[in-house]
Amino acid sequence: MTPSAYVLEYHLVNYRRTWRSSVLSSLVLPLLTMLGFGIGVGAYVTGGVGGYSYLEWMVPGLIATTAMQTAIGESTWPVLSSFEWVKVYFAQAAAPLRIGDILGGHLAFMLFRVLLSIAAFLLVAFAFGTLRSAWAVAVPLIALLVGAAVAAPVAAYTASVTSDSYLAILIRFAVLPMSLFSGVFFPIESLPVVLRWVAYVLPLWHGVDLTRAATLGLDPGPGAVWQVLYLVFWCAAGWSLAYWRYQRRLVI
């Protein structure tokens, strides 16, 4: 086993305490949103979107959003706590672990959480019959990509702040707009050009688009390769930033 696997193991031991309630809420959340948005709001969108019912069209967006939200949830308060309150990172840094092990092990756990919440959502979506294609099996991979593309840079951000009021700012000014303008609830083509570019630049829309192609069995075209590469770029840049910020904070 590599040292980062030991770090992952630590986070898993910690998760064992709360996994029941966390899995339950992972299931309840998609159920409620599906009922509220898909059936409630969907009843007004009678024409559907692009030949699909509104529910079918929106579910992949929600799955990608869930991946993003779980990644952000795990890379904000838990990371700040590991630096500021419980200080487990410092305990880990005193052991024979390197910065990459500490960061890698924690990111691996964040992705594990992303997978869990996605799996729950997929299950509910499957039960509602909104998965139209066998390509849905690719959704977990896309979700991992979205999760890493978001968790790594957010962990870098969290590692740079000392108070959780900065995390609230992140949620308000980055996460909320990203959820609204990434083609989750309506196609980004209905946005003005400027806002459409916001969607192109941020990672979520690419995840939404890829997930939508997978669950609806659409041909994503050659653009999908660029979208995947763009998300990989977010992962790599996020990792480098996070590594740098972790090092600045742990090695003083």
Partner 1 sequence: MSYPFRRVEGVNSLIHARGLVKRFGDFTAVDGIDVDVQAGEAFGFLGPNGAGKSSTMRMIGCVSPPTGGVLRILGMDPRRDGPRIRARLGVCPQLDNLDPELTVLENLTTYARFFGIPRKVARARAAELLDFVQLGERAGSKVEPLSGGMKRRLTIARALVNEPDLVLLDEPTTGLDPQARHLVWERLFRLKQQGVTLVLTTHYMDEAEQLCDRLVVMDGGRIVAEGSPRALIDTHSTREVVELRFATDDQGTYAGKLEGIGERIEVLPDRVLLYVSDGDGALAEVHRRSLSPAGSLVRRSSLEDVFLHLTGRTLVD
Q: Does 248 engage in binding with partner 1 (CB under 8 A)?
A: no
Is 249 a binding residue for partner 1 by CB under 8 A? The answer is no
Which one of 32, 39, 87, 173 is in contact with partner 1 (CB under 8 A)? Answer: 87
Determine if 86 is a binding residue for partner 1 (CB under 8 A).
yes
Distance CA 123, CA 63 (A): 11
Q: Which of 69, 92, 158, 227 binds partner 1 (CB under 8 A)?
A: 92
**Interaction between residue 21 and partner 1 (CB under 8 A):** no
Least Å distance between CB 76 and partner 1? 17
**Does 91 interact with partner 1 (rule: CB under 8 A)?**
yes
Residue 128 token pair: 């509602």
We find the least distance from the C-beta atom of residue 235 to partner 1, in angstroms, to be 25
Kindly state whether residue 134 participates in binding partner 1, applying the rule CB under 8 A: no
Using the rule CB under 8 A, is 10 a contact of partner 1? yes
Kindly provide the b/e burial profile for residues 102-140, where b requires at least 16 CB atoms within 10 angstroms of the residue's own CB. Answer: bbbbbbbbbbbbbbbbbbbbbebbeebebbbeebbeebb
**Cβ atoms of 241 and 156 closer than 8 Å:** yes
Stretch touching partner 1 by CB under 8 A, among 9-17, 64-72, 136-144, 207-215: 9-17
Count of residues engaged in binding partner 1, rule: CB under 8 A:
24
Site for partner 1 in 178-207 (CB under 8 A): none
Residues 6+ apart with CB under 8 A from 104: 4, 7
Report yes or no: 143 and 64 within 8 Å, Cβ to Cβ: yes
Stretch that binds partner 1, among 1-9, 116-124, 139-147, 192-200 (CB under 8 A): 1-9
Q: Tokens for 181, please give them.
A: 């303008």
Can you tell me which of 35, 90, 187, 221 binds partner 1, judged by CB under 8 A?
90
Tell me: does residue 211 bind partner 1 (CB under 8 A). no
**Maximum Cα–Cα distance for the chain, whole Å?**
60
Q: What are phi and psi of 49, to 5 degrees?
A: -130, 120
Q: Token pair for residue 182?
A: 């990434």
Instruction: Kindly tell me which of 94 and 193 has the beta carbon lying closer to partner 1.
Output: 94
What is the sign of the dihedral through the CA atoms of 12, 17, 21 and 24?
positive
Pick from 134, 193, 194, 251: which binds partner 1 (CB under 8 A)?
251
Q: Which of 130, 246, 184, 227 is nearest to 235 (CA)?
A: 227
What's the closest the beta carbon of residue 17 comes to partner 1, in angstroms? 6
| Interacting residues toward partner 1 by CB under 8 A | 1, 3, 6-7, 9-10, 13-14, 17, 86-88, 90-98, 250-252
